[in-house]
Amino acid sequence: MFEAFEKYLTEKAQLNTEEIKAVQAVSLEKKIKKKQYLLHEGGVCHYNCFIVKGCLRLYSISDDGTEHILRFAVENWWMSDRESYNNGSPSRYNIDALEYCEVILIDKSDFGQLLKTIPNLKNFIDSLLARSYDAIQNRVMGAISYTAEERYKNFVTHFPDIFYRIPLHMIASYLGVSRETLSRIRSQYVHK
């Protein structure tokens, strides 16, 4: 499992052999069954999670029982509840596996130490966080200004690999539309 993470870090962050060994020393390999939780609402997120295999989602459930999906993450993506992780506060979200997953977990204090001692890793993570912030900003803008059709087209365009791995009701939740609305949009989109 770590070999895939090593390849990712070597290619994306240009880490050398010694730096990879330092990362490996604090990495925890974990297998997660489909529907198993990585984080429950109310728990504290102590880890950065790198996905080697599978698909995770970050979501909340409102008082009326409605599921609100904020993120999906697949191979070579990172997942955590940033607010809980950064502040040590109870999470407002759940993270669970939509498929069997293999992940690498790195504890917050260990990760912080890696960032202090491995400049290439810090630069890479800073770049990832900046891109993540941009993506969040674009998602919020889309949620408040795009039509349901535009949000759907944007999702299909930007996440074609994820689209076919996720049940439609979850895509509808992510897009903020009903399942019926998503079905109508999909049928119109296919016929164009």
Residue 97 confidence (pLDDT): 98
Within a domain: 179: no
Q: What is the pTM of this model?
A: 0.92
Q: How far is CA 169 from CA 41, 70, 92, 181, in A?
A: 21, 14, 21, 10
Instruction: Give the max Cα distance, the chain.
Output: 54
pLDDT tens by residue, 142-185: 999 999 999 999 999 988 888 889 999 999 999 999 999 999 99
Report how far residue 191's alpha carbon sits from residue 34's, in angstroms, rounded to the nearest whole number: 33
Token duo for residue 173: 């939740």
Can you give the CATH number for the domain in which 21 is found?
2.60.120.10
Within a domain: 124: no
Residue 186 confidence (pLDDT): 87
**Beta pairing, strands 101-107 & 67-73:** unpaired
Residue 64 confidence (pLDDT): 94
Q: Is pLDDT above 70 for 192?
A: no
Within a domain: 173: no
Q: Which domain holds residue 42?
A: 2-117
Residue 189 confidence (pLDDT): 73
Within a domain: 20: yes
Mean predicted lDDT score pLDDT of the chain: 95
pLDDT tens by residue, 107-149: 999 999 999 999 999 999 999 999 999 999 999 999 999 999 9
Within a domain: 39: yes
Residue closest to 59 by CA, chosen among 35, 47, 41: 41
Domain count, the chain: 1
Within a domain: 186: no
Average pLDDT over residues 24-29: 98
Q: Is pLDDT above 90 for 43?
A: yes
Within a domain: 138: no
List, in sequence order, every beta strand (DSSP E) within 3-155.
Answer: 27-32, 37-39, 47-53, 56-61, 67-73, 78-79, 94-97, 101-107
